[in-house]
Amino acid sequence: MKNVGSGQELGVASPQPADGRTRQAVARLLLERGPVTTADVADELGLSHVAVRRHLDALLADGEATTRDAPPHGRRGRGRPAKLFLLTETGRSRFGHAYDDLAVAALRFLAESGGEQAVRAFAERRVEAMIERHRDTVTEPEQPAERAKALAAALTREGYASSSRHVGAGEQLCQHHCPVAHVAAEFPQLCEAETTAFAEMLGVHVQRLATIARGDAACTTNVPLLPTQDQGKTPNQTPPTPDGGELA
């Protein structure tokens, strides 16, 4: 069996650097071997079940892992079926990959051969394909605020770790993760197409306040309320910009 960090972990709090290395090792095992059970991880890494569950629970809480029931093999006793753990797209992103370099190279070629309009058309088609399957759910509510919440949930399912909350005279849609941030840093057309698609689905003109691609902590979009939603509230002509795009 393999030990991680400085000796076997017994579920007792350890210094943060070692704790972080252990969690990375747990995540890597899910990446390479998932779906796996708690017992699988404990046996492979030489950790206690208590310690493994602590790290798995943290990955679940951060949206980096998910679970599903293990299929039954033969006769099982009473009780809940075993849980299998596997990484989400957000969890896989912590390991990095060469896809960003490939995407940038492809878009550079597209820009050289087809020009700005070709890149913009690609960006529009990409975001349309991503959110079209959520259109009915997002557009079902009548008010932009409720649509923003539905859109945040849809984006989370797409790996963007999104949230929405009321701020000032509108809703702020915040994406805490962006799978294409490194590509969008060179090709902002990806962000622009996304903003346009959000406005179309929400039924109001939205304003992008911050983006991860520009170095902000999150991609933040202001969604103004309709006049009927804003009755009794003090007008705020300029939406507040969060600190680095991060919601408090």
pLDDT digits 0-9 by tens, 169-199: 899 999 988 888 889 999 999 999 999 999 9
Helices (H), the chain: 16-33, 38-45, 49-61, 89-92, 99-131, 135-139, 144-157, 181-186, 189-202
Question: Do residues 228 and 153 lie in contact, with contact meaning Cβ atoms separated by under 8 Å?
Answer: no
Mean pLDDT of all residues in 3-24: 56
168: left (phi over 0), alpha (psi -120 to 50) or beta: left
- Whole-number pLDDT of residue 190: 95
Question: Minimum mean pLDDT among 59-63, 93-97, 104-108: which range?
Answer: 93-97
pLDDT above 60 for 218: yes
- State if pTM tops 0.75: no
Cα torsion for 29, 31, 37, 38, to the nearest 10°?
50
pLDDT tier at 230, thresholds 50, 70, 90? very low
Closest CA relative to residue 49, chosen from 78, 9, 86: 9
Check residue 36 and report its DSSP letter: B
